[in-house]
């Protein structure tokens, strides 16, 4: 294997490990400040990192007039709304559970294609969707499937995380248009700028700057990790690899993300690693594989 290819695979692995740990860093942040403060600080840093990368690569160019509304919509859906859902959800949801639920995003993409674009689902894909749903029920109920129809099923945060997975599927589908005409890093820069601006409105309207002095050293470490690594360097590494390697090879690394989250959540947040979580997660990943294998 060529040295350049090894470096690209390491970049992908770096991005996936960082994103897996992002759920833990976010949970640490929302224990000290409001979710919108976490989002505002995180993507303020991310905009700077991505902006420097785009400028250094001489890829910077203003969007066309007819694209401003499009990127504003993507910014709201993919940054402001999506990250608020996840940050708020993580107040009550476990970081490991969150990672497993987020892993179902490809399932929602397949369902959207079936419902809206009338794309056909094979028997294997249908089975994958059913398996992934079963895996989520196992993870969220902690193996107590009898509680599915009771008030003890999941937490409010689990439901917000599920909405965020659906939202990311919608965002991903809408993003395809922009990726046809813009380099990925530049497009994400536009999306992040608009998302940060929308979050700024909520941040200042709610006087959330008063939250910032409440951040401890650990809180700041979590926020800086989210901003510099998760919203900056990881995106750069991911898209570098995506431009040079087959998308299927790069995408396969995403199966590692929830596993990273489970291990890091256990080490830092003392969340238990249970057989139910691992079994449910394995069923989710099998379902996602069946949906995507074509």
Q: Which pLDDT value is given to residue 241?
A: 81
pLDDT band at 104 (very low <50, low <70, confident <90, very high): confident
Which domain range does residue 46 map to? 3-292
Angle between helices 35-56 and 3-30 (to 10 degrees): 160
Q: Which of 162-166, 181-185, 244-248, 272-276 holds the top average pLDDT?
A: 162-166
Sign of the CA dihedral running 16, 164, 47, 63? positive
Look at residue 117 and tell me whether its pLDDT is greater than 80.
no
Length of the chain as a residue count: 294
Q: d(Cα 30, Cα 215) in Å, to the nearest integer?
A: 10
Give Cα separations from 172 to 83, 176, 233 (angstroms). Answer: 14, 7, 20
pLDDT band at 159 (very low <50, low <70, confident <90, very high): very high
Contact call for residues 288 and 110 (beta carbons, < 8 A): no
Q: d(Cα 91, Cα 1) in Å, to the nearest integer?
A: 44
Residues with Cβ within 8 Å of 220's Cβ and at least 6 positions away in sequence, in order, are none
Residues with Cβ within 8 Å of 225's Cβ and at least 6 positions away in sequence, in order, are 18, 21, 22, 25
Q: Which pLDDT value is given to residue 148?
A: 67
What value does the CA radius of gyration of the chain take, rounded to a whole number of Å? 19
The half-sphere exposure of 279 on its side-chain side, counting CA atoms within 13 A, is 9
Window from 89-103, 131-145, 235-249, 250-264 with minimum mean pLDDT: 235-249
Q: d(Cα 62, Cα 27) in Å, to the nearest integer?
A: 35
User: Considering the chain, what is the average pLDDT of its residues?
Assistant: 88
Q: What is the pLDDT of residues 119-130, one digit of tens each?
A: 788 888 888 889
Sign of the CA dihedral running 280, 158, 176, 247? negative
Residues with Cβ within 8 Å of 28's Cβ and at least 6 positions away in sequence, in order, are 218, 219, 222, 268, 269
Q: What is the pLDDT of residues 7-21, one digit of tens each?
A: 888 888 999 999 999
Give the CA diameter of the chain: 57
In the DSSP assignment, the letter for residue 62 is: P
Sign of the CA dihedral running 36, 38, 42, 45? positive
Extract the tokens encoding 54.
């785009």
Q: What is the pLDDT of residues 38-82, one digit of tens each?
A: 999 999 999 999 999 889 888 888 888 899 999 999 999 999 999
State how far Cα 70 lies from the chain centre. 20
Q: d(Cα 171, Cα 179) in Å, to the nearest integer?
A: 12
Contact call for residues 134 and 283 (beta carbons, < 8 A): yes
Q: Which pLDDT value is given to residue 151?
A: 65
Q: d(Cα 97, Cα 285) in Å, to the nearest integer?
A: 13
In the DSSP assignment, the letter for residue 183 is: -
Contact call for residues 74 and 174 (beta carbons, < 8 A): yes
Q: d(Cα 275, Cα 1) in Å, to the nearest integer?
A: 37
Q: How many domains does the chain have?
A: 1
Contact call for residues 232 and 45 (beta carbons, < 8 A): yes
Extract the tokens encoding 36.
């919108």
């Amino acid at each position: 294997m060529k040295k350049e290819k090894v470096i690209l695979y390491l970049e992908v692995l770096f991005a996936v490990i960082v994103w897996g740990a992002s759920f833990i860093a976010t949970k640490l942040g929302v224990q000290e400040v409001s979710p919108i403060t976490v989002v505002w600080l995180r993507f303020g840093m991310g905009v700077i990192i991505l902006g420097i990368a785009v400028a250094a690569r001489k890829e910077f160019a203003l969007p066309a007039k007819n694209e401003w509304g499009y990127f504003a919509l993507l910014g709201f859906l993919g940054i402001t709304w999506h990250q608020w859902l996840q940050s708020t959800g993580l107040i009550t949801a476990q970081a490991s559970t969150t990672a497993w639920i987020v892993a179902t995003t490809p399932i929602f993409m397949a369902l959207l294609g079936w419902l809206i674009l009338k794309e056909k689902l094979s028997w294997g894909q249908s089975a994958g969707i059913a398996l992934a749903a079963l895996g989520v029920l196992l993870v969220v109920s902690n193996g107590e499937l009898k509680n599915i129809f009771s008030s003890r099923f999941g937490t409010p945060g689990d439901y917000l995380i599920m909405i965020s997975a659906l939202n990311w599927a919608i965002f991903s589908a809408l993003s395809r248009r922009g990726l046809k005409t813009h380099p990925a890093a530049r497009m994400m820069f536009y999306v992040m700028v608009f998302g940060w601006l929308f979050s700024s409105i909520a941040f200042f309207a709610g006087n959330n700057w008063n939250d910032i002095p409440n951040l401890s050293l650990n809180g700041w470490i979590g926020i800086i990790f989210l901003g510099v690594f998760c919203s900056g360097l990881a995106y750069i590494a991911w898209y570098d690899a995506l431009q040079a390697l087959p998308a299927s090879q790069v995408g396969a690394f995403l199966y590692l993300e929830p596993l990273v989250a489970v291990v890091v959540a256990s080490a830092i947040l003392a969340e238990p690693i249970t057989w139910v979580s691992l079994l449910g997660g394995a069923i989710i990943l099998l379902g996602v594989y069946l949906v995507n294998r074509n």
